[in-house]
Amino acid sequence: MKIQAASASQYQAHMDLVSKTYPEGIARAHNIPLETARELAKKHTVDDLPLGAKTAGNYFYVLLEGEQVLGHLWLKDFNATYLCLFDIHLYEPYRGQGYGSQAMAWIKDKAKALNCPSVWLHVFGFNQDAIRFYQKNGYGITEVNMRLDL
């Protein structure tokens, strides 16, 4: 597998995916209407990228096997304080084959190259598969938010 900078069309395909999946996750995690979640998600995605893929400190990549796109990465460098894995998406047919772990190792090397002492990420609490995957790749839980629905 290779990881390379996303082209303009690959960046747009990734943003189209994020604009669907991220609000769905917010709505589920916060038990709010999808439209409200879309507004919140926009603040953390589109509004944070005034220059799109060219917004400073943001890096967009594609995961490839040959010419086949396996998935996407969005990394954000917080002034070498830490590197944030803002989004990783591996398409369903390519999961469970080691590509995700290869990507996580690559991200670790990228953080080191940027002189970032750590990599951070957010994962929704209901996404237990992702939590297990990140833990398997060495990530530890740093805080937990909880809710009681009445």
Tens place of pLDDT per residue across the chain (150 aa): 999 999 999 999 999 999 999 999 999 999 999 999 999 999 988 888 999 999 999 999 999 999 999 999 999 998 879 999 999 999 999 999 999 999 999 999 999 999 999 999 999 999 999 999 999 999 999 998 888 888
Give pTM, 2 decimals. 0.91
For residue 88, which phi and psi values (nearest 5 degrees)?
Answer: -130, 130
- Residue 148 lies inside a defined structural domain of this protein: no
7: domain CATH number is 3.40.630.30
Separation of alpha carbons 115 and 66, rounded Å: 30
- Residue 106 lies inside a defined structural domain of this protein: yes
- Residue 147 lies inside a defined structural domain of this protein: no
- Residue 67 lies inside a defined structural domain of this protein: yes
Give kind and range of the element (H or E) at residue 113.
Answer: helix 99-113
Whether 63 and 72 have beta carbons less than 8 Å apart is answered as: yes
- Residue 150 lies inside a defined structural domain of this protein: no
Domain that holds residue 90: 2-136
Sign (positive or negative) of CA dihedral 146, 144, 110, 79: positive
User: How many structural domains does the chain have?
Assistant: 1
